[in-house]
Amino acid sequence: MTGDEICAIPIPARRCCALRLVRWLTVFLFLSLVLAAACRADETESAPVGDAAGRAAFLLSFLGYIEWPSAAFALADEPYVIGVINNEAVLAELLLSATGRTVASRPVEVRALHEGDKPDGVHLLYIGPTPSERLAAILAGVSERWTVTVTDGDNGLALGSAINFRDIGARLRFEVSMPALKRADYRFSSRMLSVARLRREVP
């Protein structure tokens, strides 16, 4: 078709084609936005298996969905403290991500801890993959009823942890222990409980 032939197309017909093209582009853009939103929602509630950045993101997000008692903070501007044991990669990600970050107007402090250290003043204690006997000893050493423990393995909740990461298929999920919540002085929001993969009733 030559340029003259294109120009010879009646104006109403050209307008109809243009409108049809606009409709198709609008539909395509809408579907693209819906797909992108779905992907973001899935990334918020899970992360790739073995991903240190994903674990760090979860830990930081937990701070906004847990209610601690006033006794957990000596000062009005005292920071949230995240302790990390047995996972250098997650520790590095947290140190990077927490810099300059605030949650509910409080800064976030990240501490490197070792087995045998007392997690005094720690609000959220993450323990990387650890053999059961040693993990049980670490959990037993947590004295504060408001310290939220997060483990990373198959038997974390059974050993007394409040939250446990699980690799499910190709994604990272977390589960919570309802008995641990009943014994503790902190509270999880309904949103956090709804996102948790499992709410186990193990003692």
Q: Where are the alpha helices (DSSP H) in the chain?
A: 3-7, 11-45, 52-62, 88-98, 132-140, 178-183, 190-195
Same domain, 55 and 37: no
Claim to verify: residue 148 and residue 53 sit in the same structural domain: yes
Q: Based on the fold, state whether residues 25 and 54 are members of the same structural domain.
A: no
Same domain for 22 and 77, yes or no, is no
CA 200 to CA 155: how far, in whole Å?
12
**Can you tell me the mean pLDDT for 86-93?**
97
CB atoms within 10 A of CB 70: 8
- Together in a domain, 191 and 124: yes
| Residue in 61, 90, 76 with CA at minimum distance from that of residue 151 | 90
Helices 88-98 & 52-62, crossing angle to 10 degrees? 50
Structural domain including 78 reads 48-200
Same domain, 159 and 119: yes
* DSSP 8-state assignment for residue 79: P
Lowest mean pLDDT among 7-16, 70-79, 110-119, 185-194: 7-16
Per-residue pLDDT at 24 exceeds 80 = no
Same domain, 17 and 52: no
C-alpha distances (whole Å) from 11 to each of 8, 16, 20, 84 are: 9, 9, 14, 69
DSSP helix/strand/coil, 80: strand
Split into its structural domains, the chain has a count of 2
The answer to whether residues 33 and 54 belong to one domain is no
Residues 53 and 101 in one domain: yes
For the cut 80, the answer to whether the pLDDT of residue 135 exceeds it is: yes
How high is the pLDDT of residue 167? 86
Question: Do 16 and 111 share a domain, yes or no?
Answer: no
Strand 148-152 versus strand 124-127 pairing type: parallel
Residue 39: predicted pLDDT: 39
Is residue 26 located within the same domain as residue 108? no
Tens of pLDDT, residue by residue over 73-84, are 999 899 999 999
